Amino acid sequence: MSDRVYFFDTTLRDGEQSPGCTMNLREKVRLARQLDTLGVDIIEAGFPAASEGDFESVRAIADAVERAQVAGLARALPQDIDRAFDAVRGARNPRIHTFIATSPLHMKHKLGKAPDQVLAMAERAVRHAASLTPNVEFSAEDASRSERPFLAEICQLAIECGARVINIPDTVGYAQPGEFAELIAFLMETVPNASQAVFSVHCHNDLGLAVANTLAAVRAGARQVEVTLSGIGERAGNAALEEVVMNMRTRPAYYPVSHGIITEQLFPANRMLSRIIGRPIPATKAVVGDNAFAHESGIHQDGVLKHRETYEIMTPESVGRSGTDMVMGKHSGRHAVKSKVEAMGFRLSDAEVDVVAGAVKRLADIKKKIYDEDVEAIVLEEVFRIPDKYRLKHLHIQSGTISVPPTAAVIMEVDGQERKLATFGVGPVDAVFNTIAEIIGKRPTLEQYLVNAITDGTDAQGEVTVKIEHGGQRAVGRGTDADIIVASAKALLNALNRLEKKREDK
């Protein structure tokens, strides 16, 4: 048995199915490139048959990724498989990932199929996929609740038909680590041609056991793990990539396996995901959370000062939290800016570098220190924003403890036409949102409003994330500025622009 474990990242497919985690095409490509830098072996880019937008995203990722394999998901249907291959054919090593449910519950109530019909569908699907590419993965959906003899039979059949990866999903997070390890061992011992395929696992976190089940499967012989950044995904999510790989790195004697993940890219990758989907990394998140290497207890602090390993089993540097370098400022040239953004994983044109360099100089006039996070926020704000239907030009707020209600005066552009208005609110943010709503003639529902300081200090840039709903559609918007009220206005306009883009695409 090989000791190499392959990391199959499905952040862009299963992860994006997490409510509120939708990404546009440019964001998916940017994250895919970061996953490539991180060292994942396979990127599952999406479900091409789901929509034209999914198809275009998968194709763009296949064209953009330089090292990793790119997979497209497909039901066990010829038209799905053809669509998936059309999307990934431009990848360096395209993979078709086809699946069908195998548990009695799913076969009866979801598929309305008998076991022999499911076997026939799986055979046709895998043979068809293998006629297009030798890189075929077959998944037995809800495998952990399937009958073992039938599961072994369909795995054997899939390998005979050309599948080179057999994925055993714990689709609803039902399995326990011991029994899941037993299931993997059973299949590898029982399936006659098991040695001709790599066995994979895809674990969900409904009972909080996704990482534990994944690692138990690795101990039992699985050599591909299907994971997502920060564990995002359907319902309670998936096994978190950073937790799986750092268990392997921290406990090499217990997990005597190798992998290709560059762990120093874990925090940058998770931070990029957080910025794209508008969800902060929880402070107590294992491996990449702000508190993962923080020590407040006097006993802990004393121990760490005497010997770091007393309370730290891994270092911040090992996951990419080596601290921030304050190297940018008003005197930084465009070459320094270009070098910095490239080191952060961004690939910008010369014109885009000029935009970032100008924004860095403007920020340096009002902020003493400029950190990597500030530069990253500038790139996301100035370069990767949605094209503007609505654009903020000027904002003035009057607020305080006097009896006059907070007032916002807004000058903005709508389709290139300047509009201006002033109105009131119960607070400065409410006043801004009311004024913008009056200007554009729409009043979306604000479902979520989050404020986060990008760096330390009272002069830190504020990052605001909003989630809005209007006309049955939802969008997440983000805005960054040294003034938190301006950041709030930018976030709302970003969300409104995303809603307009969704309507255009539809």
Q: Is residue 416 part of a domain?
A: yes
pLDDT in tens, 84-97: 999 999 999 999 99
Q: Which whole number is the average pLDDT over 267-289?
A: 90
The total of other beta-carbon atoms located within 10 Å of residue 34's CB is 23
What's the mean pLDDT in 110-122? 97
DSSP 166: E
| pLDDT tops 80 at residue 456 | no
Burial class (CB in 10 A: 0-12, 13-18, 19+), 366: exposed
Confidence of residue 326 (pLDDT cuts 50, 70, 90): very low
Residue 325 lies in a domain: no
Dist. CA 235–CA 103, nearest whole Å: 20
Question: Alpha carbon 275 to chain centroid distance?
Answer: 10
Residues 39 and 181 in one domain: yes
Integer angstrom CA distances of residue 128 from 71, 157, 161, 164, 279? 16, 14, 9, 14, 40
Q: Looking at the predicted structure, is the pLDDT value of residue 328 above 80?
A: no
Give the separation between CA 56 and CA 25, rounded to whole angstroms: 8
Answer yes or no: is 71 within a domain: yes
The tokens describing 309, both together, are: 């390993």
Q: Is residue 329 part of a domain?
A: no
φ and ψ of 8, to 5 deg = -105, 110
Question: pLDDT by residue (tens digit) across 168-199?
Answer: 999 999 999 999 999 999 999 999 999 999 99
Q: For residue 135, what is the domain's CATH number? A: 3.20.20.70
The 3-class SS string of 297-326 reads: CHHHHHHHHHCHHHCCCCCHHHHCCCCCCC
pLDDT above 90: percentage of residues in the chain = 66
Neighbouring residues of 485: CB distance < 8 A, sequence distance ≥ 6: 395, 397, 428, 429, 432
Instruction: Give how many domains the chain has, as a whole number.
Output: 4
Better-predicted residue by pLDDT, 277 or 239: 239
Specify whether 268 is located in the same domain as 410: no
The answer to whether residue 108 is domain-embedded is yes
Asked if residue 328 belongs to a domain, the reply is no
Q: Which domain holds residue 345?
A: 334-382
Cβ contact 231:208 at 8 Å: no
CA distance 193 to 54: 35
Same domain, 16 and 54: yes
Average pLDDT, whole number, for the chain? Answer: 91
Residues 498 and 453 in one domain: yes
Within-domain flag for 141 = yes
Statement to judge: residues 429 and 344 lie in one domain:
no
Same domain, 227 and 339: no
